[in-house]
Amino acid sequence: MNALRSDLQKLAAAAEASFRPEGPWRPGIHLAPPVGWLNDPNGLCCFQGEYHIFYQYAPFDAGGGVKFWGHYKSKDLISWVQCPVMLCPDEPYDIHGVYSGSALCREDGLYLYYTGNVKYDGDFDYIHAGREGNTVLAYSADGIRLNWKLLLLRNKDYPSEMTLHVRDPKVWKQDGRYYMIQGARTQEDAAAALIFESKDGFQWEHINTLRTAKPFGYMWECPDLFEIDGQWILIVCPQGVQKKGPGLENRYACGYFPLWGDFRGDYTLGEFIPLDFGFDFYAPQTFLDRDRRLLIAWMGMPDAEYTNPTVAYGWQHCLTSFRELRLKGGRLCMRPIQELEHLHEETRTYSFSERLTVDLPEIADIQITCGGALSLALSGISLKAENGSAALTVHEGGYGRDTRTAFTGGLRNLRILADSSAIEFFVNDGEVSLSARWYPADLCLALTLYGEGQAVVYAMRSMEITKYAETVSAKRKT
């Protein structure tokens, strides 16, 4: 290990050890940073019988800063171990941040592919000059300690028509070969995704470029490409989309294109479909867990106009809940993973006609069935669903968040995961979702329902989070 890496890991560990979360709004069923800033989830995988989540992490500044890779692991997706920082900006090719990437599990260990960010001092636009977006491989034999890093690709190794904005590698194995997709921005400011192929995961060749017939934004961040029920899906986070409307109301979009044909050769992209219609959903990443594909995203938005008051308490942002993907009618549906039900405690069932008001626990799983139009108010948030659409409005505690809309079709059911500062709405078994951070002044929540139907409210306990050093110490004692 180089000296800088050792020093940075010690400093991050010291920052985490000295931080004592104070104040309201620390989530119970959504992973948040131990201290400082969190954004994109990275390297999702199940390695040696344990789930791993890495994430963009700035441990020294809740407002952001140079990025590390933070790390949680779990055996069951509800009890977590906070692990030491895995990746640090400690090499000339990643000195200004270890940016987003993915994990590849192989028999001999865990291979982490990511973008190494370098920005030069000077008068640069940082698009055509002044930066490096390097593709880097890091290896860990045990999934906890880093063994080595290797620089794989520099900007000169990408197609010449691309700007310096090439990043966020997602790697997988298929048909005896390794494939990598990266988000890109062309010299003409059109978004694209680059496809690379490799025999061994080390030497890579660019083989194709995915793009729309007409430019859809100037950059596609955090691409993900996978097959589900025979349909190929390309998830991207487009920046610079001019079209507006439901699902395109945020500063940057997040969604997917159905892909027909072969991503390695001739292909066709369908229409762009938003993944989530709320305020706070970006940089999703998926992985295959046996026979199901799971997704988790950053519960935030780059360059958003709204703010998060937890900065004053030394931390900012969280991840969404884990969601299981399904394909229904050619569209992706997302619903919370079944494991969350193990956190259920007390259950209450209510029938309502016209109006019902109930007090809620601090963390709740609310499952509502209804026969059409429905309106609700929940401590500063309202959702009104009628005539095939829904409007989510934050009245109080939104810190700049206002209204987002979604097309829902006829409303049959609604599920709400309400945490202390994170709320997720799933409409019609996950056909539509709306995610938001919100910060109610009173943590004693009240729910008012207008319409007719039934509501089941499950009180939930928080996920258990243990520090890695404590688990090692406990093992030694036994």
Domains of the chain in start order, with CATH, are 3-13+32-336 (2.115.10.20), 340-461 (2.60.120.560)
Residues contacting residue 319 through CB under 8 Å, at least 6 positions apart? 30, 31, 32, 38, 41, 53, 55, 296, 297, 298, 299
Of 190, 217, 195, 220, nearest to 206 by C-alpha is 195
| pLDDT attached to residue 449 | 96
In this predicted model, what pLDDT tens digit does every residue of 113-160 receive, in sequence order?
999 999 999 999 999 999 999 999 999 999 999 999 999 999 999 999
Active-site option among 40, 94, 224, 276: 40
Residues contacting residue 463 through CB under 8 Å, at least 6 positions apart? 28, 29, 31, 78, 79, 80, 343
H/E element, 375? strand 374-378
Around Cβ 281, how many Cβ atoms within 10 Å?
25
| pLDDT attached to residue 293 | 98
DSSP code for 61: -
pLDDT at 443 over 80: no
In this predicted model, what pLDDT tens digit does every residue of 214-265 receive, in sequence order?
999 999 999 999 999 999 999 999 999 998 999 999 999 999 999 999 999 9
Cβ–Cβ under 8 Å, residues 132 and 115: no
Question: For residues 212 and 456, what is the distance between their CA atoms, to the nearest angstrom?
Answer: 44
In this predicted model, what pLDDT tens digit does every residue of 24-71 receive, in sequence order?
899 999 999 999 999 999 999 999 999 999 999 999 999 999 999 999
* 341 three-class SS: helix
| pLDDT attached to residue 414 | 96
DSSP code for 83: P
Annotated active-site residue 90? The verdict is no
SS (H, E, C) 382-420: EEEEECCEEEEEECCCCCCCCEEEEECCCCCEEEEEECC
| pLDDT attached to residue 476 | 61
What pTM was computed for the model? 0.97
Instruction: List b or e across 121-148, with b for residues whose CB sees 16 or more CB atoms inside 10 angstroms.
Output: eeeeeeeeeebbbbbbbbebeebbebee
| pLDDT attached to residue 285 | 98
Question: For residues 416 and 211, what is the distance between their CA atoms, to the nearest angstrom?
Answer: 36
In this predicted model, what pLDDT tens digit does every residue of 12-24 receive, in sequence order?
999 999 988 778 8
Cβ–Cβ under 8 Å, residues 78 and 322: no
Question: For residues 272 and 171, what is the distance between their CA atoms, to the nearest angstrom?
Answer: 23
Phi, psi of 404 (to 5 degrees): -130, 150
In this predicted model, what pLDDT tens digit does every residue of 367-386 receive, in sequence order?
999 977 899 999 999 999 98
Mean pLDDT value of segment 301-307: 95
Residues contacting residue 388 through CB under 8 Å, at least 6 positions apart? 407, 408, 409, 410
| pLDDT attached to residue 474 | 61
| pLDDT attached to residue 473 | 57
Mean pLDDT value of segment 380-393: 93
| pLDDT attached to residue 373 | 86
Cβ–Cβ under 8 Å, residues 98 and 167: no
**Beta-bridge partners for 432:** 427
Q: What is the mean pLDDT of the chain?
A: 95
Mean pLDDT value of segment 403-420: 94
Mean pLDDT value of segment 270-275: 98
Checking DSSP bridges between strand 219-228 and strand 205-210, what pairing results, if any?
Answer: unpaired
In this predicted model, what pLDDT tens digit does every residue of 463-476 receive, in sequence order?
999 999 877 656 66
Question: For residues 131 and 437, what is the distance between their CA atoms, to the nearest angstrom?
Answer: 33
In this predicted model, what pLDDT tens digit does every residue of 323-350 receive, in sequence order?
999 999 999 999 999 999 999 999 999 9
Mean pLDDT value of segment 3-10: 93
DSSP code for 319: B
pLDDT at 112 over 80: yes
Binned at pLDDT 50, 70 and 90, residue 1 comes out as low
Cα 93 to the center of its chain, rounded Å = 25
Q: Which tokens hold the place of 45?
A: 């995988």
Question: For residues 415 and 370, what is the distance between their CA atoms, to the nearest angstrom?
Answer: 11
Terminal Cα distance for the chain, rounded: 30
Amino acid at 365: D
In this predicted model, what pLDDT tens digit does every residue of 121-133 receive, in sequence order?
999 999 999 999 9
Checking DSSP bridges between strand 403-407 and strand 344-360, what pairing results, if any?
Answer: unpaired
Mean pLDDT value of segment 305-315: 95
Beta strands in 199-265 (DSSP E): 205-210, 219-228, 231-239, 255-261
